[in-house]
């Protein structure tokens, strides 16, 4: 069987999205389920079938989501409405839309890496925390001795006060 | 002040400090934000305007709450209620923003109050957190009310403000996300641009005659 020629294939759009906080590792499959749930809740099953979303890649705190052309606005709205992935609070922020994955990857290559630049013990509001530092003087505080708790989001100036 | 998130709740009301929220707001495309319970300041180029929310079931409770405010409350926002309360809130000169219209009866904000809000430059806030965290009926009701308000706003021209209602940096929305979410109830990109200017409009209203050097 001959493959369908490119001109007869459905046109796609690719959306680059940033996942926050960077400390949470989200798998592509979990992200897809969260997006599918959000899309179905906003546009119903027929909308989901029309949009045909798929998570193409999900690494390093960024994800590339594919959809049918002209539905990218709806996908952006559904990404903005995603607030949890596997019961962990996450923000999915669409950054850029493109017709090819290559241009998104080029854009991604020019962006700063989102890796922690240090870890320190911190004392805030009378309690002990582990502080994870990120570029831009950002500090995420995780309380010691508690698992799966929500972090506090501060800056280095807040810790110094 | 051209792009403002009209209501965020920094630490201790939320899990992120006002500085971190301001930094995040700058990265998300805002140049200012209204922080409830915070003092006005500028951090990393983002102007933070303090805000106070007053809540009352009737006019008497609202006025009592206003008397209790000491010092500079920043932008005074009031939670909307039934028609009588909304009318009273529009008459009170100090209230600049009406919040929580989605939770009020359908007839509580009509064309008469729209006209009054336009004359007195009292803004109506659209809280986008309801579209994110709400589900089923709650979200549908909010979308219906916001669509209704968008229709009234285009006709009478009262100021709109857009707020993320964020208690964490994870709940803050970028301007791009706000455009996408507002598309759900029919507010177009120009409308969103006008709503992001809402706080600037009520803080620095246009004068009939202005001397430009």
- Return the residue in A96, A155, A156 with the most chain B beta carbons within 10 A, the one to mutate for interface testing: A155
**Separation of alpha carbons B160 and B100, rounded Å:** 13
Q: How far is CA A91 from each of CA A63, A124, B173, rounded to the nearest angstrom? A: 12, 25, 9
User: B62 near B54, Cβ under 8 Å?
Assistant: yes
| B175 Cβ under 8 Å from any chain A Cβ | no
A96/chain B closest Cα distance in angstroms: 9
Residues in chain A: 161
B-chain residues within 8 Å CB-CB of A138? 20, 23
Note the CATH architecture for domain A6-109: 2-Layer Sandwich (3.30)
In chain A, where the domains are located = 6-109, 118-160
Question: Which positions of chain B have pLDDT values less than 50?
Answer: none
Q: Which of B23, B170, B177 is opposite residue A94, by nearest beta carbon? A: B177
Give the model confidence (pLDDT) of B187-205 as tens digits.
999 999 999 998 988 887 7
Q: Which of A89, A151, A155 is opposite residue B17, by nearest beta carbon? A: A155
Give the model confidence (pLDDT) of A61-118 as tens digits.
899 999 999 999 999 999 999 999 998 899 999 999 999 999 999 999 888 878 888 8
In chain B, where the domains are located = 4-52+108-203
Is residue A148 scored above 60 in pLDDT? no
User: A122 near A131, Cβ under 8 Å?
Assistant: yes
Quote the pLDDT of residue B168.
Answer: 94
Inter-chain CB proximity A73 and B180 less than 8 Å = yes
- Report the DSSP beta bridge partners of residue A134: A138
Q: How far is CA A12 from each of CA A98, B36, B93, rounded to the nearest angstrom? A: 9, 42, 52
Closest CA to B113 of B93, B141, B84: B84
Interface predicted TM-score (ipTM) of this complex, two decimals: 0.90
For B13, the closest chain A residue by CA position comes to A152
Quote the pLDDT of residue A147.
Answer: 62
Please identify which residue in the block is written with the tokens 């409308």: B191
Note the CATH architecture for domain B4-52+108-203: Alpha-Beta Barrel (3.20)
For B188, the closest chain A residue by CA position comes to A73
């Amino acid at each position: 069987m001959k493959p369908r020629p490119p001109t007869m294939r459905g046109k796609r759009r690719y959306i680059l999205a940033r996942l926050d906080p960077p400390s949470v590792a989200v798998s592509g499959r979990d992200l897809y389920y969260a997006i599918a749930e959000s899309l179905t809740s906003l546009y119903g099953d027929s909308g989901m079938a029309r949009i045909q979303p798929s998570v193409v890649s999900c690494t390093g705190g960024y994800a590339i989501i594919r959809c049918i052309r002209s539905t990218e606005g709806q996908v952006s709205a559904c990404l903005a409405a995603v607030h949890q992935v596997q019961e962990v609070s996450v923000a999915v922020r669409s950054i850029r839309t493109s017709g090819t994955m290559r241009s998104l990857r080029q854009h991604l290559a020019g962006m700063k890496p989102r890796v922690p630049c240090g870890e320190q013990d911190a004392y805030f509001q009378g309690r002990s925390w582990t502080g994870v530092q990120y570029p831009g003087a950002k500090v995420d505080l995780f309380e010691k001795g508690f698992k799966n708790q929500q972090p506090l989001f501060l800056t280095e100036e807040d810790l110094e006060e | 002040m051209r792009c403002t998130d009209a209501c965020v709740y920094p630490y201790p009301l939320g899990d992120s400090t006002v500085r971190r929220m301001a930094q995040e707001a700058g990265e998300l495309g805002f140049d200012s934000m209204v922080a409830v319970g915070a003092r006005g300041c500028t951090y990393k180029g983002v102007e933070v305007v303090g805000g106070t929310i007053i809540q009352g079931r009737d006019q008497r409770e609202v006025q009592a709450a206003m008397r209790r405010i000491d010092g500079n409350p920043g932008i005074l926002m009031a939670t909307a209620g039934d028609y009588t309360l909304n009318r009273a809130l529009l008459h009170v000169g100090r209230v600049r923003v009406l919040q929580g219209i989605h939770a009020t009866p359908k007839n509580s904000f009509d064309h008469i109050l729209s006209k009054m809000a336009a004359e007195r430059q009292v803004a109506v806030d659209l809280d986008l957190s309801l579209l994110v965290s709400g589900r089923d009926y709650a979200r549908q009701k909010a979308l219906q009310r916001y669509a209704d308000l968008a229709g009234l706003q285009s006709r009478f021209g009262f100021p709109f403000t857009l707020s993320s209602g964020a208690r964490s940096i994870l709940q803050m929305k970028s301007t791009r996300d706000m455009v996408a979410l507002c598309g759900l109830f029919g507010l177009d990109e120009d409308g969103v641009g006008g709503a992001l200017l809402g706080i600037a409009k009520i803080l620095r209203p246009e004068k009939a005659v202005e001397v430009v050097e």
